[in-house]
Chains A and B, each alone.
Chain A
Amino acid sequence: MMKEKTEILINSNQIEKKEKSFATIHPGRRRAEKAFKWISRIMTWSTVFILLVLLYHLGKEGWEYIDWQFLDSYPSRKVAKAGIKAGLWGTVWLIITTAVITIPIGVASALFLEEYGVKGKIGKLIEINVSNLAGVPSIVYGLLGLAVFVRWFNFERSILSGALTLGLLIMPVIIVATREAVKAVPDSIRFGAYALGAHKWQVVFYHVLPVALPGIITGVILALSRAIGETAPLIIIGALAYVSFVPESVMDEFTVMPIQIYNWASRPQEEFHQLAASGIVALLALMLTLNFIAVFIRIKTTKRNIQ
């Protein structure tokens, strides 16, 4: 994608060059270039700086309470005894269930739209719908989840309801990312496979999908990272604030780490605010672990493709 764009840019510049000397159009272009580079550099570093400040503050406040006891205890009114076990396991269950439901549906939908395609007005309608869905505020998904999954399907306030709701929320992200990844697969690979007599599904499954996989995984990481931090839709569907057990099936009730953190942050006692910071550190660690696993899978799959 990027390459194509820059190529086009270079081309248009060359065309202009033929008409007038480039230097006369932009007299201070070297200085402008330097200034632009510096502005971009400062912008990039300021983002990194903000992130570092955030991490430093969290670490400073939250580090004190992080130990095994914190990870392996249920909520308590006494700070020393309180822990995030219920939220941690709730989040893990929820994210895995969400991934299992959403990834196949999202990837398959994207493959269908990109490789097989729906022509005409219906195709356009689907496309507009998918991109619109990506812009809907998350709380609206919560209301939908409450009406459809909790009440109508009667899944109650379960992990399944939560996962389906979050699934809807991140589906557009996965679909869009997968479509972009599939689009980027060069046609030569498809034609090569066709030339050897492969059937369309063989082309898609054995050639297009593996090449597109790293891009798909990146999209999935982004989508799941968003899901892991969501609170609003889960509160609406009735995720709980106090749970004193680890879920045993997808039909169990649950809480998630962001809800637990919010609960601690709104307590009057200062120590609970520190506990909230510890919770955030744990949440970040969990997210990074999941991302690491995904990156690991990506590296593995990419290597195999090259061989």
Chain B
Amino acid sequence: MKKSLKLLLTGVILTSLLPSLSANAQAKLRGKVSIDGSSTVFPITEAIAEEYRAVQPRVRVNIGVSGTGGGFKKFLVKETDINNASRNIKDKEVKKAKKNGISYVEVPVAYDGLTVVINKENSWASNLTPAQLKMIWDRDSKVKKWSDIDSSWPAKKIKLYGPGTDSGTFDYFTKAINGKSGRSRANYTKSEDDNVLVKGVAGDKYAMGYFGYAYYKENSKKLQSVAINNVKPTEVTINNGSYKPLSRPIFIYVSKDGYKKPEVKSFVGFYLEKAKEIVGDVGYIALKDIEYKKAKESLKTLEK
């Protein structure tokens, strides 16, 4: 008994003292880049961090996914250097930043097109107007059947799927379609996991839902996207802005205190350099070159 306890203890102490053997002599920079925030932006930042590791292996890039709002809570008490955000910073958060003496820059990194999807077999609703979408999704919406929108459509119940109310996608969609962020009907199937929404719409002829373009692109064989005012969401229409009003930029917020650290500065520089070729890999749409250039310019204000 005593012996085995001793053995166990020595084992534990040894493991905790064992240093990592993955030293790399060529690395120039060391340090830590703390990132948190939106799960929508996460795949992009993760992909960039993965590439960055090949360049600067001794810089530890940590990414959490607390959601845009949860991430800002940490960002605004200086716990993180960068916040992934799928929406702009809110007035409340700006006030808090001022109170805590935090300066930051908003850096757009890619476009996402919120995609309204219907079942493959749906032959009537492949083109909708924002007004029709509002009829369906607005608070206290009276729409229960497809025929409530257009009397020539089937008198079948619409089954609605959408993201939960904590998500940036929900905020953006409700603002763009219903006029106010958070203004939405409540009686639809909500899930934070977009794959659940995909399955729901793919399995029901009379269903409708909305989520980020990446999830549509991956499941385009199972789903049909809805054109808004005759424009279908594609890489081209999202990038050139003709897919309205549901294409949105997504951001990273960089704090001034963080940017003073050479490793954070180097990471953000690398991010903007590589974003264009990487965002497509994870299902997002790159900004125009001039927009990346502008983003780089805006970072200079942090150097003062």
**Residues on A close to B: CB < 8 A?**
74-78, 96, 100, 157, 209-210, 213, 235, 238-246, 248-250, 253, 263, 265-270, 273, 297, 300-301, 304
* Among A77, A96, A253, contact of B12 (Cβ-Cβ < 8 Å): A96
Report A89 CB to chain B, min CB distance, Å.
Answer: 10
Docked pose: A269 CA to B214 CA in angstroms: 9
Contacts of A263 on B, CB cut-off 8 Å?
A: 42, 65
Task: Name the segment of B55-63, B102-110, B148-156 touching the other chain.
Answer: B55-63
A238-B66 contact given A250-B16, A268-B215, CB 8 Å threshold? yes
B193 touches A75 (CB 8 A): no
Q: Which of B43, B198, B282 has the most CB of A within 10 A?
A: B43
Contacts of A240 on B, CB cut-off 8 Å?
A: 62-64
Report A80 CB to chain B, min CB distance, Å.
Answer: 13
Contacts of A210 on B, CB cut-off 8 Å?
A: 1
Docked pose: A4 CA to B177 CA in angstroms: 68
* Among B12, B49, B64, B214, contact of A238 (Cβ-Cβ < 8 Å): B64
Docked pose: A266 CA to B283 CA in angstroms: 14
* Among A244, A253, A267, A301, contact of B49 (Cβ-Cβ < 8 Å): A244
A sample of 19 cross-chain residue pairs with beta-carbon separation below 8 angstroms, ordered by A number, consists of A74-B50, A77-B46, A77-B50, A77-B278, A78-B281, A100-B12, A238-B66, A241-B46, A242-B45, A242-B62, A244-B49, A245-B60, A249-B16, A266-B192, A266-B193, A266-B194, A267-B43, A268-B194, A304-B1
A96-B4 contact given A240-B64, A244-B53, CB 8 Å threshold? no
Instruction: Kindly supply a per-residue 1/0 record for chain B positions 263-304, scoring 1 wherever the CB is within 8 Å of any chain A CB and 0 otherwise.
Output: 000000000000000100111000000000000000000000
Whether B26 is near chain A, meaning CB under 8 Å from some CB there, is: no
Docked pose: A244 CA to B50 CA in angstroms: 8
Docked pose: A240 CA to B19 CA in angstroms: 22
A246-B1 contact given A266-B39, A266-B195, CB 8 Å threshold? no
Docked pose: A245 CA to B22 CA in angstroms: 9
Contacts of A76 on B, CB cut-off 8 Å?
A: 50
Report B233 CB to chain A, min CB distance, Å.
Answer: 14
Report B164 CB to chain A, min CB distance, Å.
Answer: 13
Instruction: Kindly supply a per-residue 1/0 record for chain B positions 90-105, scoring 1 wherever the CB is within 8 Å of any chain A CB and 0 otherwise.
Output: 0000000000000000
* Among B63, B281, B282, contact of A242 (Cβ-Cβ < 8 Å): B63
Report B39 CB to chain A, min CB distance, Å.
Answer: 7
Report B68 CB to chain A, min CB distance, Å.
Answer: 14
Whether B128 is near chain A, meaning CB under 8 Å from some CB there, is: no
A241 touches B63 (CB 8 A): yes
Closest B-chain residue to A263, C-beta based? B65
Contacts of A268 on B, CB cut-off 8 Å?
A: 194-195, 198, 214-215, 217-219, 283
Contacts of A267 on B, CB cut-off 8 Å?
A: 43
The number of inter-chain residue pairs (CB within 8 angstroms) is 88
Q: Which of B16, B74, B193 has the most CB of A within 10 A?
A: B16
A241 touches B50 (CB 8 A): no
Secondary structure class of chain B's binding surface, majority of residues: helix
Closest B-chain residue to A266, C-beta based? B193
A246 touches B22 (CB 8 A): yes
Report B208 CB to chain A, min CB distance, Å.
Answer: 19
- Which 3 A-B pairs rank lowest in CB-CB distance, beginning with the nearest? A242-B63, A268-B218, A77-B47
Closest B-chain residue to A239, C-beta based? B64
Q: Given A77-B43, A238-B36, 4 more contacts at CB 8 Å?
A: A246-B22, A265-B195, A267-B43, A300-B4
Contacts of B194 on A, CB cut-off 8 Å?
A: 266, 268
A77 touches B281 (CB 8 A): yes
Docked pose: A301 CA to B218 CA in angstroms: 54
Docked pose: A43 CA to B49 CA in angstroms: 49
Docked pose: A193 CA to B9 CA in angstroms: 28
B15 touches A96 (CB 8 A): yes
Report A247 CB to chain B, min CB distance, Å.
Answer: 9
Docked pose: A265 CA to B199 CA in angstroms: 14
Closest A-chain residue to B46, C-beta based? A242
B43 touches A243 (CB 8 A): no
Q: Which of B12, B50, B214 has the most CB of A within 10 A?
A: B50
B49 touches A242 (CB 8 A): yes
Report A114 CB to chain B, min CB distance, Å.
Answer: 18
B42 touches A242 (CB 8 A): yes
Report B169 CB to chain A, min CB distance, Å.
Answer: 13
Contacts of B1 on A, CB cut-off 8 Å?
A: 209-210, 213, 301, 304
B4 touches A297 (CB 8 A): yes
Contacts of B20 on A, CB cut-off 8 Å?
A: 245-246, 248
Closest B-chain residue to A242, C-beta based? B63
Within B202-244, the residues touching A (CB, 8 Å) are: 214-215, 217-219
Contacts of B193 on A, CB cut-off 8 Å?
A: 265-266
Contacts of B195 on A, CB cut-off 8 Å?
A: 265-266, 268, 273
A243-B62 contact given A96-B15, A300-B4, CB 8 Å threshold? yes
B19 touches A248 (CB 8 A): yes
Closest B-chain residue to A304, C-beta based? B1
Docked pose: A267 CA to B278 CA in angstroms: 16
Report B252 CB to chain A, min CB distance, Å.
Answer: 14
Contacts of B36 on A, CB cut-off 8 Å?
A: 238
Report A15 CB to chain B, min CB distance, Å.
Answer: 44
Docked pose: A96 CA to B14 CA in angstroms: 12
Docked pose: A250 CA to B278 CA in angstroms: 34
Contacts of B46 on A, CB cut-off 8 Å?
A: 75, 77, 241-242
Contacts of B16 on A, CB cut-off 8 Å?
A: 249-250
Report B257 CB to chain A, min CB distance, Å.
Answer: 16
Docked pose: A117 CA to B179 CA in angstroms: 64
Docked pose: A244 CA to B63 CA in angstroms: 10
